[in-house]
Chain A
């Protein structure tokens, strides 16, 4: 091979034996439109080979190119003084002080999880972990946001059981605690479940690794597992004519090997502690194609990949399969020249494959060789600059009419209504799920699932803690995407605040239907507008994210679900509070204004069987003012427990606090409050918190001084939840209803 690829550049690629003629059908099966194929021809100046076509197809897929979403994603605020790296790298990076950075991202594995729930979810976790440790971070926590179909749908139980086992199976083996998440059920997800996984890691700010390649001649190194025929997508047919072994002509599901990933993590971190890495990139979607391509493109360089040097798991693999395989647990590294042996020793110690598979060139071309022949030769810059970008037509969802609380029936039986809400699929305890996740490993979990609005994890070797959460209320987004987008960000910010931490930044996972439909594109646009506004007002930049489109089956789309993952910091973890009510005699104080918003509420859906009205509006200035106030009171040690109000409203939040801490309370709607009681207790007005305080008077006085609505509802104590004139329920009954639904559902048949 020539050293810099200049001579090979002119050589037309060699056709492989059995290489099919590219027909319009083959182009279509690669997901390229006729216009997109014309662009390919223009860039190449000739007909591409199969492997070249496969590369265009992968790089220009929605997944890799963000062609439908790009124009909108640009509207999200991504900067703040504490942002070290915003979107565009493997994960976002923020400064958390003391020379430390938090590195985090969320990613979907929706479709694979529907096809094969265990492996789909497991490899989703594996993928997001790699995104984070590629940048030099040791992962310290995982979260997962799950949406399943109607519990009554015949597939739901099987999907829940497989997805949860898969997430646990991978994260537990890796030794990363899974500390939080959310789980919803709705018929709109019957044919398209959502599995969004998030990882948070920590790295020294001066040792963060990026993907941009540098240094002509530097070796390109492949490490990790061998490459097999996993997940070679729409490309199935291509392999049909192409592969030698007819047995292999079926789509394969990616199988994860968390044991190898654990070794890969340790080996990479060991390598990163030396001084030999120029650039590093994990092989995720579109495997070797996107990783090598992105490294070269970001560095403005070219690359030669000698495909026959790639470690292979199966015999008879061809260049097409090697470039497009999505085998898991692999990484691509550009090393400093002459450090190959030093690096090799580390990977051999961890019993991982290590192979030099090429080098960087100055040609800005990707040249693929196969046993000495050139089989692919693509110019890199036009593939990036000429990539299709669509401004798809969009129509915004109009704001539905506001629902008058008077039109919503008052519960006939308050006890029954509360028990029904506490045991409905969306609100029932998810302990059946998180008990299958090791949430304690590493010994740093200060707030566990269900013990607070955000999980709280100590940063090793200090007093600092990171708070993390994931949130979205899809029914609000469906009703009015702008409001829903705003609300998802606000709730994440509120959840971080409720444990006493300072919200810092966001990662998002935009899950939507078919963007070629204007109403779906409108949902996307609306959600982004709402999110952008909320992020701006709350100083809560987006530093990473992921888009998953086409989540629809037979024309039925999912609820638009822009999942927000968020991270915040608390300097002294001992000051943090959870939501468990464990002491009698505390004042129960409601912070924020209650108008009694029942539109799109869970009360309306679960107790009245109606999904209608406008979702609760989010006043971001109020949100910020109320949250800053709550955080200040926590910092003053005036708060024993704090819970934000969200799904189910006030009464549900109070019940959750009481059963989690085993302490009851006696409360009442404040005298003179004219909101109808069902709207007061079940309304889902935003920007609200409940706090339990030993100095409630001081809190209320401070609130009024700050212009924050605050009112004393009653006091903690006893073993029942008592609401004057309305209900008295033993905590044991509430707890039983709350805890029983999911295990009962999962152990039933049919």
Chain B
């Protein structure tokens, strides 16, 4: 699997995701600078976490207008898979690749913590190594992860199976207790209609080694490798 990881001024988890990809594929991904609208063809595009442009104005707003994102939109339309994590999720919603938006956490504070996620479907490139209903533990680290969409959008997302992950309690119960940010309907990650673009707030790339935060995130990358090679 050939992967490209985008780098914006202020990105800071690009190294973490590159490390995770290398761990799983044995191969370093290509790092693509935000001004590069013409990067090499790859099997997967990753929009990483961080504080692109300092998260000033609105998280992801300035990065969404970069030359590289114009190219990502084109390729996503052609079906190239896009994995957008945390700030990446914010960037792709700003760019219109995914519906909804990520508001300030309800408690207004940054939160870095392990959370539990319920896998909503195994029917996607990103989640094929998980079982629907499975509970995994991965960390979050963000101040704006409070997913919001209007009722029509939410209905559409749910009807079409576009919810990827929901926050839950360790036993899998989906209620407010496991929700770290006030996200509507406990949504932690969503797909586009074709399930080739996935955005999520949690960091599977920081859960790929047992000694360093657990390894429940590894299957996401392994599943991608399986689907894309």
Q: Quick check: which of A171-179, A241-249, A491-499, A599-607 contacts chain B, the rest being far away?
A: A171-179
Contact A443 B206 (CB under 8 A): yes
Q: Is B111 in contact with chain A by the CB < 8 A criterion?
A: yes
Contacts A172-B141, A574-B211 given; does A438 touch B51 at CB 8 Å:
no
Q: Quick check: which of B53-61, B89-97, B127-135, B191-199 contacts chain A, the rest being far away?
A: B53-61
What is the bound-complex CA distance between A29 and B72, given in angstroms?
Answer: 59
Contact B16 A441 (CB under 8 A): yes
Q: Is B12 in contact with chain A by the CB < 8 A criterion?
A: yes
Contact B112 A443 (CB under 8 A): no
Contact A436 B205 (CB under 8 A): no
Nearest neighbor of A350 in chain B, beta-carbon distance: B9
> Chain B nearest CB: distance from A279 CB in Å?
27
Q: Is B110 in contact with chain A by the CB < 8 A criterion?
A: yes
What is the bound-complex CA distance between A172 and B141, given in angstroms?
Answer: 9
What is the bound-complex CA distance between A3 and B209, given in angstroms?
Answer: 58
Mask: chain A, 437-467; 1 = CB below 8 Å from B; 0 = not: 1111111111000000000001000000000
Q: Which of B19, B51, B110, B113 contacts A443 (CB 8 A)?
A: B19
Q: Is A86 in contact with chain B by the CB < 8 A criterion?
A: no
Q: Is A257 in contact with chain B by the CB < 8 A criterion?
A: yes
Contact A438 B141 (CB under 8 A): yes
Contact A262 B109 (CB under 8 A): no
Of A257, A434, A442, A574, most B-chain CB atoms within 10 Å: A442
> Chain A nearest CB: distance from B55 CB in Å?
7
Give the contact-size bracket for chain B. Answer: 20 to 34
Contacts A169-B110, A443-B19 given; does A175 touch B12 at CB 8 Å:
yes
Nearest neighbor of A174 in chain B, beta-carbon distance: B12
What is the bound-complex CA distance between A168 and B139, given in angstroms?
Answer: 17
Q: Is A216 in contact with chain B by the CB < 8 A criterion?
A: no
> Chain B nearest CB: distance from A641 CB in Å?
15
What is the bound-complex CA distance between A629 and B99, given in angstroms?
Answer: 59
Residue count of chain A within 8 Å CB distance of chain B: 31
Q: Which of A174, A263, A440, A444 contacts B9 (CB 8 A)?
A: A263
What is the bound-complex CA distance between A262 and B54, given in angstroms?
Answer: 9
Mask: chain A, 336-368; 1 = CB below 8 Å from B; 0 = not: 000000000000001100000000000000000
What is the bound-complex CA distance between A430 and B170, given in angstroms?
Answer: 23
What is the bound-complex CA distance between A458 and B20, given in angstroms?
Answer: 15
Chain A residue numbers with a CB within 8 Å of B20 are 443
Chain A residue numbers with a CB within 8 Å of B56 are 259
> Chain B nearest CB: distance from A501 CB in Å?
15
What is the bound-complex CA distance between A13 and B40, given in angstroms?
Answer: 59
Mask: chain B, 14-31; 1 = CB below 8 Å from A; 0 = not: 011001100000000000
Contact B53 A259 (CB under 8 A): yes
Nearest neighbor of B114 in chain A, beta-carbon distance: A440
Contacts A259-B9, A441-B13 given; does A172 touch B113 at CB 8 Å:
no
Chain B residue numbers with a CB within 8 Å of A313 are none
Contacts A435-B111, A435-B112 given; does A440 touch B53 at CB 8 Å:
no
Contact B16 A172 (CB under 8 A): no
Chain B residue numbers with a CB within 8 Å of A165 are 109-110
Chain A residue numbers with a CB within 8 Å of B118 are none
Contacts A435-B111, A436-B111, A443-B212 given; does A173 touch B9 at CB 8 Å:
no
Q: Is B10 in contact with chain A by the CB < 8 A criterion?
A: yes
What is the bound-complex CA distance between A436 and B9, given in angstroms?
Answer: 23
Contact B211 A573 (CB under 8 A): yes
Q: Is A258 in contact with chain B by the CB < 8 A criterion?
A: yes
Chain B residue numbers with a CB within 8 Å of A574 are 211
Mask: chain B, 25-52; 1 = CB below 8 Å from A; 0 = not: 0000000000000000000000000110
Q: Which of B10, B203, B209 contacts A262 (CB 8 A)?
A: B10
What is the bound-complex CA distance between A351 and B56, given in angstroms?
Answer: 16
What is the bound-complex CA distance between A36 and B117, given in angstroms?
Answer: 65
Contacts A441-B206, A443-B19 given; does A436 touch B109 at CB 8 Å:
yes
Chain B residue numbers with a CB within 8 Å of A172 are 51, 110, 112, 141, 143
What is the bound-complex CA distance between A574 and B211, given in angstroms?
Answer: 8
Contact A443 B141 (CB under 8 A): no
> Chain B nearest CB: distance from A269 CB in Å?
12
Chain B residue numbers with a CB within 8 Å of A435 are 111-113
Interface set, chain B 54-80, CB cutoff 8 A to A: 54-56
Mask: chain A, 144-177; 1 = CB below 8 Å from B; 0 = not: 0000000000000000000001001100111100
What is the bound-complex CA distance between A727 and B56, given in angstroms?
Answer: 53
> Chain B nearest CB: distance from A173 CB in Å?
4
> Chain A nearest CB: distance from B106 CB in Å?
13
Mask: chain B, 199-229; 1 = CB below 8 Å from A; 0 = not: 0000101101101110000000000000000
Contacts A438-B110, A574-B211 given; does A443 touch B205 at CB 8 Å:
yes
Nearest neighbor of B56 in chain A, beta-carbon distance: A259
Contacts A258-B54, A259-B51, A259-B54 given; does A437 touch B112 at CB 8 Å:
yes
What is the bound-complex CA distance between A438 and B19, given in angstroms?
Answer: 18
Interface set, chain A 393-452, CB cutoff 8 A to B: 434-446
Q: Which of B19, B54, B141, B143 contacts A440 (CB 8 A)?
A: B141
Nearest neighbor of B33 in chain A, beta-carbon distance: A349
Contacts A259-B9, A439-B112, A574-B211 given; does A173 touch B55 at CB 8 Å:
yes
Chain B residue numbers with a CB within 8 Å of A260 are 54
Contacts A174-B12, A262-B12 given; does A440 touch B110 at CB 8 Å:
no
Nearest neighbor of B203 in chain A, beta-carbon distance: A440
Nearest neighbor of B209 in chain A, beta-carbon distance: A443
Chain A residue numbers with a CB within 8 Å of B112 are 172, 434-440
Chain B residue numbers with a CB within 8 Å of A439 are 112
Chain A residue numbers with a CB within 8 Å of B53 are 259
Contact B13 A175 (CB under 8 A): yes
Nearest neighbor of B111 in chain A, beta-carbon distance: A435
Contact B50 A175 (CB under 8 A): yes
Chain A residue numbers with a CB within 8 Å of B12 are 173-175, 262, 441
What is the bound-complex CA distance between A568 and B16, given in angstroms?
Answer: 24
Contacts A443-B212, A443-B213 given; does A351 touch B9 at CB 8 Å:
yes
Contacts A172-B51, A435-B112 given; does A444 touch B212 at CB 8 Å:
yes
What is the bound-complex CA distance between A262 and B56, given in angstroms?
Answer: 14
Interface set, chain A 257-276, CB cutoff 8 A to B: 257-260, 262-263
Chain A residue numbers with a CB within 8 Å of B110 are 165, 168-169, 172, 436-438
Nearest neighbor of A456 in chain B, beta-carbon distance: B211
What is the bound-complex CA distance between A257 and B9, given in angstroms?
Answer: 13
Chain A residue numbers with a CB within 8 Å of B203 are 440
What is the bound-complex CA distance between A388 and B176, given in angstroms?
Answer: 62
What is the bound-complex CA distance between A218 and B112, given in angstroms?
Answer: 46
Nearest neighbor of B208 in chain A, beta-carbon distance: A443
Which 7 A/B pairs are nearest by Cβ-Cβ distance?
Answer: A175-B12, A259-B54, A173-B51, A438-B141, A438-B112, A443-B16, A436-B110
Identify 12 new A-B residue pairs, CB closer than 8 A, beyond the known A435-B113, A443-B20, A446-B211.
A165-B109, A172-B143, A259-B55, A262-B10, A435-B112, A436-B109, A436-B111, A438-B112, A440-B112, A442-B16, A443-B19, A443-B213
Q: List 24 contacting pairs A-B, 8 Å CB cutoff, sorted by A.
A: A168-B110, A169-B110, A173-B51, A173-B55, A258-B51, A259-B9, A262-B9, A263-B10, A350-B9, A435-B111, A435-B112, A435-B113, A437-B110, A440-B139, A440-B206, A440-B213, A441-B13, A441-B206, A442-B16, A444-B212, A446-B211, A446-B212, A573-B211, A574-B211
